[in-house]
Structure 1
Amino acid sequence: MKKVLKITGISLLIIFALLIAIPYAFQGKINDLVKRLINDNLNARVEFSDLSLSFIKGFPRAHVTVSDLVITNIDPFKDETFASTKDISFTMSIKELFKKNGDPMVVNAITVNEALLTLKTDVFGNNNYDITKKGDSASSGENSFTLDIKDYKINNSALNYIDEASNTAIHLTEFNHQGRGIFSAETSELETTTETNVSLSIDSINYLNNNRITLQAIIGLDLSNSTYTFKDNKGFINQLPIEFKGYVKQLEKGQDIDITFENPESDFKNFLAVIPKDYSKNIDAVETTGDFKVKGLVKGLSSEETIPQFDITITSNNASFKYPDLPKRVSNITINTSIKNTTGRADDTYVDINTLDFTIDSDVFKSSATLKNISKNMLVNAHINGILNLANLTKVYPITLDYPIKGILKSNVNTAFDMDAIETNAYDRIKNSGTISINDLEFTTKSFPSPIIISSAHMNLNSGTVTLNPFKAKTGDSDLFVTGTINNLTGFLLSNGKLQGDFKASSKLFKVNDFMTVDEPLKDQETKTSSDALKIPDFLDCTINANAETVVYDNLNLKDVKGTLLIKDQKASLINLTSNIFDGALAIAGEVTTNEETPNFNLNLNANNFDIAKSFNGMALLQNLAPIAKLLQGKLNTNINLKGNLDDDFSPILNSVSGNALAELLSTKISADESKLISNLEGALNFVDFDKLNLNDLKTKFEFADGRVAVKPFQLKYQDINIEISGTHGFDKTIDYRAVFNVPAKYLGSEVNRLIGKIDAAEVNSISIPVAANITGSFTNPSVNTDLSSGVKTLTQQLIEIEKQKLLNQGKDKVQSLIGHVIGGNQTKTDSLKKEQDQTINKVLQDIVGSRSTPDSTTSSTTNTVKNVLGGLFQKKNKPKDTVN
């Protein structure tokens, strides 16, 4: 017994080993077969990562798996992927592997996992799926498969159909399909089950949006006549059941189609079943009355030139529904809609919404519309007449809005247009008439940071334009009263068009931030952070003539604002904008742009008669341009040209600001009580009383860039002391200035008076000494250093020159007197006598000057005296600053 078991075990082990090993002997043959079939039948590039053969998976059949198959098109769709799959598996009898080349091979089962198939037709009519070779090798029986399929599956796959000529797109996702049948017999049956999500769009309009469709169908196969008959079939569109019957017959140039379908029940609950379950929720407990019926016929030739004719009707009469958890009912529902094509030409397909009426509470809403030329430039003709309380939307239907909305909408509108006219703003082809009114509308949108409350709005519709008369609204703390015209309301509502118009707007209070878009925060890498950024809404394309009592921007309150605002492409251009602020007048021109990653501005500001203290304390920009001005009291005229970037709060990024300015001070004095800078200057320059500094009619120019302000040299006066100031400071409050004081001699005290005591008064008054003060550090911690070198040199030179001139004059007088006495008044002197006279005068003068002092000793003595005098000027003294009588 043990021997028998041992032999049996060894035999089974050998068989199992053969089942594992033998496929490797056939794998090369299978690989060659697949490549040959591809090359003989397809005009495309086919690649796969692996091909395997197993006798274990499908025992007693062979199991062939092709992994990572990718089919790529050649011209005219070069390098575009036609199909890709994770793997395709074939199950067949082992004996099929031993057939000779040319013998038909029977495949019993096929499984496709995670396939993506893209069918595409370009604008020239080329199809990317025309990849089979034409000719004898492809059409003959050589190397062909005979399908004796009893089971096939397509799992978790997707299909895209794109027709660029008609702008039609069909997308199938989560596609799962399986079937059983025998394809080799002339007549047989195929049992199929299909589940998928379907999206359909024609000319950018979505007719199906991820709608769930299921289908259970038994299809009769008549292969000899290429006819496929639907015998017992039931499908679902979302939760709406549809039964259909008919056939599809394959012809040489297309398909002959004859199919009818309808929903088997007529309860109005079937209408709710059409809506995706995510939106309609659980409809089992919904109370309904009335009927709902869908019937359709599709019949005719489907070919490259024609489509089948069809007639699909959707009807409902006097229906109603109420969700059990919601307070209100929708009643008096009447639907009469048909989708037809009576010619077989795709362009002649049209939708006729003859009636679509309903009532909520006592509000009656009626509408009708026709849609023609759907596959190309769709023509729309619609009429809407009724009242709709927007707050009732969530009270009758389980819909969750991104933002709550309420208000009363009344309309009586006729409109006719084509979609191309909407997209190109061809107003002559947009025919509107009627009125729309809105009362107590309140809603929130991402376009504005606060809810928008429209207390009343009345619109008269004309061809291509809408007249606002008037429009009253509030958002945040701002109010708005608008009249004007809108040129593209239909395009704005139905497509991605701009809100174009020309408006007159007035407001009692207008806060700029109430009308700025807030961008979503970035959610990138952890290293990136971003706060919400304000943007000018990109849907605005309009001209606004504004008049506001108060406009608030940042912390500024502008009064009596008037001007024109042009908004387009997230750019606001300001034209002749004037206002009153800081007890003066302000004029602004320029633009603010937010269509780039970093918002920027380019403005010209003209201020007239500004209160200096109020303006420099109120505007951060002015504080940084001239921080010293916060110590001033008086009036200011200035013209500032500046440009730079804005931060997320719409405030200037100071280091990016550049430009230039011209400033003029009027009736100005210094308020230096709390200024460390003035205190340090007074300590270093005790001969100047800054309270008495004359700043009237002071004019200065300055330029700014890269975070620094360069002040051009300007002159001011303290009594009879002329002062020249120039230098730079940074937006970081660092300073580097130089002030040169030209000090008259009379301020120099008794030492200098004794030194120049014999100088004429006129000569003394002509003497002035330049004293330089270098101011560095920062405005909060300044450092003042005086430079006496130029003053010492200047005063020394002046004193020596005056003393020398006095000595020369004295000596000349003595010599003239001596020579006159010697030679008398003889007027007939020869040239030799004159020359001798000059030589004698010079010698006598040199002797006189030399006897008083040598040049070196005079210069040294005078210089020391001057240093002592000037040094005393900058020492603190316990005496009044103003010592001049």
Structure 2
Amino acid sequence: MIKKALKIFGILVALLIIVIISIPLLFGGTIKDKIRYLANEHVNAKVDFADVDISLIRSFPKASVIIDELSIINFAPFEGDTLAYAKKISLDMSINELFKDAEEPISIQKFIIDEANIGIKTDSIGNSNFDIAKASEEPEVATKEESGSFTFELDHYEINNSKLLYQNDISKIALLMTNVNHSGDGSLSGENIVLDTASSSEVSFSLDNTEYLNKNALKLEAELELDLENQRYTFKENKAFINQLPLEFEGFVQLFEKYTDVDLSFKTPSSDFKNFLAVIPEVYAKNLDGVQTTGDFSVNGIIKGKTDDVYIPKMDIKIASHNASFKYPDLPKSVQNINIDTQIKNDTGLADDMYINIGNLTFRIDQDTFAAKGSLRNITTNMIVDMAVNGTLNLANLDKAYPLELEQQLNGILKANVNTNFDMQSLEKEEYQNVKSAGTISLDKFTYASPELPSEINIERANVNFKPNTITLDKMEVTTGKSDLSAQGTINNLMGFLFSKQDLKGTFDVSSEVFAVNDFMVAENETVEEQTEEKATNDPLKIPSFIDATLNFDAKKVIYDNLELRNTKGSVKINDETAYLQNVTSNLFDGGLAFNGKVSTKSETPNFGMNLDLSKIDIVKSFSSLELLQGLAPIAKALTGALTTQINLNGNLKNDLTPVLNSVKGDALAEILNAQISTAQTPLLSKLDSKLNFLDLDKLNLKDLKTSLTFDDGKINVKPFDFDIKGIKVTAGGSHGFDMNMDYNVSLDVPARYLGSDASGLISKLSDQEANEMKVALPIGISGNFSNPKIDLNTKQAVTQLTQQIIDKQKEKAKDKIVGEGTKVLTDLLGGSKKDKDSTKTTSDKPEDKLKDVAKDIFGGFLGKKKKKDTTKTKN
């Protein structure tokens, strides 16, 4: 009997296991169909999921459904935007729910959502991406049981590690909640559901581009009563934490068809001033353990009224403190006499009518007191700022009284007594006539160090005067590194720079005894730890992007790279990470410099363009200091003297803002005013001098030599030019590269006797006078590079040319001799014809007589042929 019972029990267990395993396989399609049914029938968006898994084991005796990677993607006008995504959704329900058709509602008892990302947006014309429900074609007469949706009889739910974004372009509200964790346990209380919830998140909130919260920690422990029938949600016993500030609150939120009714009140549970420190983000306030405080601090608020497309709830929030103080245990100084009287209020329910009154804000550190009062109105549209500030701050005391994380140590005394009134639109539109300010700000003994700057900046004194329409910098004295500056001028938009993220604009007159350019260049992407000497030379220098100003300067000495300029005057306009240099004059290399140009660090590769006029500069100094000139004319290192040149060029810059020579393009016209050569200074001239032993290049004077050249892609082309070496005409031209490889052709018009043994046989046929006067072109090819040149004296071509010249000379001489002697014979012949006309012919043995006879035969035969020709012509 027992054996039979055990057998039956085993069969039942086996059947149960089979059922548990088979039901998910048999009914898994029901849940998938349900999701697809909801998507197709109710949602105007693309709904997708990776998989749906059903199990009776995970949550036995309940059924467990897991949906992987559920996503809802919007159609137009938000096409492609992700409205919602969840990595995993877990649902627990009764097994009976698996047997329902797709059209029947399924009741959920527990759900868990992991790593959800929800983005709720409303654009500037009122379209909302969450408005994805399909419009019903028939009156809504279906009951909840016939709706084909999910219903909830929750006993527990969770949302883990999720993110929520709410963005409304109409009201210019942006709310971002990250690291969202929320859980709740439910129970039935009559017709209502009561939930005990716990929530935590980091909250960022901005209104009209003004950031009010930035990753502020928010915690909430709330008991919620949900009246689902009347859509009224009541906060019963609740405690929230904003950063470390505790708040108790109560009230309700009720949803109606066209509006929402809100009635909430909150307050701090105690009035200890430590509450004020607690509202500051923990990363700034640090650990409050051991902080000594006196005085009180309280926050009390009421938010009450309806909210819809027009109205927001009315509010009255008071923040107050009286004669308070605090001191951190590890810091030497305290902050005392703290008074706060601030009110955030809206009396009408219209968003534009919200305002903030700062009735009194004061504090003291040591003997320095600081006070401010004013108001912020019209916050949501065109905020109007009306503030008055009066006080003194020793900046060095700030981090001695409060645990600031400063990248650099601050020092200096700041004094301010300023009243200002402006609206944000005027700042944005640069209508500075609407900015009304009066008072003064001064800064003394200020020091500032930053990883972006090579050296610490020291401001000995700076005074700024505020007048109704202008802000003037009366005087500022600055030193940094090797540099000193004294500046004064006009600031056009200080308020725009401080409050509206505008570039600092102004015009300044700057004078300096020493101005080192690198002292003011910004090193990009450099941390304090990376500031080694090697690193600093590799990081690109940047012209600050926040400056839009014109500087008229007068500097006794300017140091740029290895250059030293004296008595430098001109102006520089800085805008958009570009410096435009205008009408700059200076003394350089014992001569004069004038130039216009620009330097830009805006693009990834810095670049420049420049027109240079160098007048009477010392050749040795300029070519030893300027890499560019060395590349343009390497041979000049062998010269001493003075040079005048005009150079137009542009190209790329290295990280230290020196030219990348292979990128330089442009042209130049150079005139050597007076120069001597030292052939020993360059292998090219030394080797050339040894080849041309009839010339002493060291005694060459290149006075008034002019040449022009062009350069592009690392190649310098020198147009052919002529000069004279003690009566020898020289023509030179060709090209070389910044890599020092060259290809030049030189031609010397040399006397024939300089060709040596190769021409000695030919020259012997000439008289001494002819040998001295006859000149021939001696071609010289120059290749290789400047450190190892190849010299090719084409003596063969010169000898061939000389040979031809001698042949032509001999022909000319022979022709002249024949013509000369023939002329004499002809003269004698013509002179004696009358005398011998009728005489008897006699023959003489004298040479001249024979020559005469020859001439007679020649001329007689010629004349006879002509006569014969004429006779023949007559006969015919």
Q: Distance in 2 between matches of 1:149 and 1:566?
A: 68
CA distances 1:204-249 after superposition (whole Å, capped 9, x unpaired): 2111111111111122233343322222111111111111112222
Q: Distance in 1 between matches of 2:62 and 2:779?
A: 106
Q: Is the 8 A contact 1:297 1:311 kept in 2?
A: yes
- What's 1:405 paired with? 410
- What's 1:442 paired with? 447
Query: Is residue 755 from structure 1 mapped to residue 764 from structure 2 by the alignment?
Result: yes
- What's 1:872 paired with? none
Q: Does the C-alpha gap of structure 1 residues 789 and 219 become closer, same or farther in structure 2, counting only changes over 3 Å?
A: same
**Cα offset, 1:251, TM superposition:** 1.7
CA distances 1:346-380 after superposition (whole Å, capped 9, x unpaired): 11111111111100000000011311122222221
Q: Is the 8 A contact 1:425 1:488 kept in 2?
A: yes
Q: Give the aligned residue type for 2:678.
A: S
Q: Distance in 1 between matches of 2:237 and 2:856?
A: 143
- What's 1:793 paired with? 800
Q: Does the C-alpha gap of structure 1 residues 314 and 780 become closer, same or farther in structure 2, counting only changes over 3 Å?
A: same
- What's 1:357 paired with? 362
- Secondary structure of 1:155's match? strand
Could you tell which deviates more after superposition, 666-675 or 20-29?
666-675
- Secondary structure of 1:811's match? helix
Q: Distance in 1 between matches of 2:674 and 2:226?
A: 104
Q: Distance in 2 between matches of 1:306 and 1:559?
A: 68
- Secondary structure of 1:290's match? strand
Q: Does the C-alpha gap of structure 1 residues 764 and 138 become closer, same or farther in structure 2, counting only changes over 3 Å?
A: farther
- What's 1:709 paired with? 716
**Cα offset, 1:182, TM superposition:** 4.6
**Cα offset, 1:804, TM superposition:** 2.9
**Cα offset, 1:819, TM superposition:** 4.1
Could you tell which deviates more after superposition, 26-35 or 628-637?
26-35
- What's 1:807 paired with? 814
**Cα offset, 1:545, TM superposition:** 0.8
Q: Is the 8 A contact 2:451 2:526 kept in 1?
A: no
Q: Does the C-alpha gap of structure 1 residues 383 and 579 become closer, same or farther in structure 2, counting only changes over 3 Å?
A: same
Q: Does the C-alpha gap of structure 1 residues 802 and 71 become closer, same or farther in structure 2, counting only changes over 3 Å?
A: closer
- What's 1:877 paired with? none
**Cα offset, 1:186, TM superposition:** 2.3
Q: Is the 8 A contact 2:763 2:771 kept in 1?
A: no
Q: Is the 8 A contact 2:743 2:784 kept in 1?
A: yes
Q: Distance in 1 between matches of 2:341 and 2:835?
A: 140
Q: Distance in 1 between matches of 2:835 and 2:350?
A: 135
- What's 2:205 paired with? 200
Q: Distance in 1 between matches of 2:398 and 2:323?
A: 20
- What's 2:866 paired with? none
Query: Is residue 177 from structure 1 mapped to residue 178 from structure 2 by the alignment?
Result: no
Q: Distance in 1 between matches of 2:76 and 2:828?
A: 126
**Cα offset, 1:744, TM superposition:** 2.7
- What's 1:114 paired with? 115
Query: Is residue 220 from structure 1 mapped to residue 221 from structure 2 by the alignment?
Result: no
- What's 1:379 paired with? 384
Aligned residues with identical type, % of pairs: 46
- What's 1:605 paired with? 612
- What's 1:340 paired with? 345
Q: Give the aligned residue type for 2:142.
A: S
Q: Give the aligned residue type for 1:311.
A: D
- Secondary structure of 1:114's match? strand
Q: Does the C-alpha gap of structure 1 residues 241 and 765 become closer, same or farther in structure 2, counting only changes over 3 Å?
A: same
Query: Which of 559, 562, 574 does residue 566 from structure 2 map onto?
Result: 559
**Cα offset, 1:802, TM superposition:** 2.9
- What's 1:775 paired with? 782
Q: Distance in 2 between matches of 1:229 and 1:384?
A: 44
Query: Which of 536, 540, 543 does residue 547 from structure 2 map onto?
Result: 540
Q: Does the C-alpha gap of structure 1 residues 235 and 822 become closer, same or farther in structure 2, counting only changes over 3 Å?
A: closer
**Cα offset, 1:94, TM superposition:** 1.6
Q: Does the C-alpha gap of structure 1 residues 800 and 395 become closer, same or farther in structure 2, counting only changes over 3 Å?
A: same
- What's 1:140 paired with? 142
- What's 2:872 paired with? none
Q: Distance in 2 between matches of 1:724 and 1:657?
A: 27
Q: Distance in 1 between matches of 2:786 and 2:126?
A: 76
Q: Distance in 2 between matches of 1:829 and 1:118?
A: 136
- What's 1:506 paired with? 511
**Cα offset, 1:184, TM superposition:** 9.4
Q: Distance in 2 between matches of 1:158 and 1:491?
A: 34
**Cα offset, 1:183, TM superposition:** 6.7
- What's 1:230 paired with? 235
Q: How does 1:617-628 map to 2 (within 5 A)?
A: 617-628=624-635
Could you tell which deviates more after superposition, 794-803 or 560-569?
794-803
Q: Is the 8 A contact 2:310 2:350 kept in 1?
A: yes
Q: Does the C-alpha gap of structure 1 residues 76 and 694 become closer, same or farther in structure 2, counting only changes over 3 Å?
A: closer
- Secondary structure of 2:76's match? coil
Q: Distance in 1 between matches of 2:101 and 2:752?
A: 126
**Cα offset, 1:419, TM superposition:** 2.1
- What's 1:296 paired with? 301
**Cα offset, 1:447, TM superposition:** 4.6
Could you tell which deviates more after superposition, 672-681 or 510-519?
672-681
Q: Does the C-alpha gap of structure 1 residues 160 and 757 become closer, same or farther in structure 2, counting only changes over 3 Å?
A: closer
Q: Does the C-alpha gap of structure 1 residues 351 and 789 become closer, same or farther in structure 2, counting only changes over 3 Å?
A: same
Q: Does the C-alpha gap of structure 1 residues 735 and 41 become closer, same or farther in structure 2, counting only changes over 3 Å?
A: closer
Query: Is residue 474 from structure 1 mapped to residue 483 from structure 2 by the alignment?
Result: no
- What's 2:464 paired with? 459
**Cα offset, 1:501, TM superposition:** 0.7
Q: Give the aligned residue type for 1:656.
A: S
Query: Is residue 263 from structure 1 mapped to residue 264 from structure 2 by the alignment?
Result: no
Q: Give the aligned residue type for 2:128.
A: N
- What's 1:689 paired with? 696
Query: Which of 305, 311, 316 does residue 316 from structure 2 map onto?
Result: 311
Q: Distance in 2 between matches of 1:661 and 1:98?
A: 91
Q: How does 1:729-740 map to 2 (within 5 A)?
A: 729-740=736-747
Q: Does the C-alpha gap of structure 1 residues 285 and 714 become closer, same or farther in structure 2, counting only changes over 3 Å?
A: same
**Cα offset, 1:681, TM superposition:** 1.5
Could you tell which deviates more after superposition, 99-108 or 430-439?
99-108
Q: Distance in 1 between matches of 2:254 and 2:99?
A: 37
Q: Give the aligned residue type for 2:398.
A: L
Calculate the aligned-residue CA RMSD, in Å: 2.7
- What's 1:720 paired with? 727
Q: Give the aligned residue type for 1:50.
A: D
CA distances 1:367-402 after superposition (whole Å, capped 9, x unpaired): 113111222222211111111111111111112112
Could you tell which deviates more after superposition, 318-327 or 536-545?
536-545
**Cα offset, 1:829, TM superposition:** 13
Query: Is residue 80 from structure 1 mapped to residue 87 from structure 2 by the alignment?
Result: no
Q: Is the 8 A contact 2:637 2:682 kept in 1?
A: no
Q: Does the C-alpha gap of structure 1 residues 15 and 778 become closer, same or farther in structure 2, counting only changes over 3 Å?
A: same
Q: Distance in 2 between matches of 1:252 and 1:812?
A: 131
Q: Give the aligned residue type for 1:80.
A: D
**Cα offset, 1:114, TM superposition:** 1.4
- What's 1:393 paired with? 398
- Secondary structure of 1:520's match? coil
- Secondary structure of 2:296's match? coil
Q: Distance in 2 between matches of 1:444 and 1:410?
A: 21
Q: How does 1:810-829 map to 2 (within 5 A)?
A: 810-826=817-833
- What's 2:22 paired with? 21
**Cα offset, 1:343, TM superposition:** 0.3
For normalisation by structure 1, the TM-score amounts to: 0.89
- Secondary structure of 1:278's match? helix
Q: Give the aligned residue type for 1:755.
A: S
**Cα offset, 1:3, TM superposition:** 6.6
For normalisation by structure 2, the TM-score amounts to: 0.90
Q: Does the C-alpha gap of structure 1 residues 106 and 838 become closer, same or farther in structure 2, counting only changes over 3 Å?
A: farther
**Structure 2 runs not aligned, ≥5 long:** 530-535, 838-850, 860-876
Q: Does the C-alpha gap of structure 1 residues 697 and 101 become closer, same or farther in structure 2, counting only changes over 3 Å?
A: closer
Q: Is the 8 A contact 1:40 1:138 kept in 2?
A: no
Q: Give the aligned residue type for 2:192.
A: T
Number of equivalenced pairs: 832
- Secondary structure of 2:538's match? coil
- What's 2:595 paired with? 588
Q: Is the 8 A contact 2:619 2:641 kept in 1?
A: yes
Q: Distance in 2 between matches of 1:121 and 1:100?
A: 36
- What's 2:644 paired with? 637
- What's 1:279 paired with? 284
**Cα offset, 1:102, TM superposition:** 6.0
Q: Distance in 2 between matches of 1:599 and 1:493?
A: 29
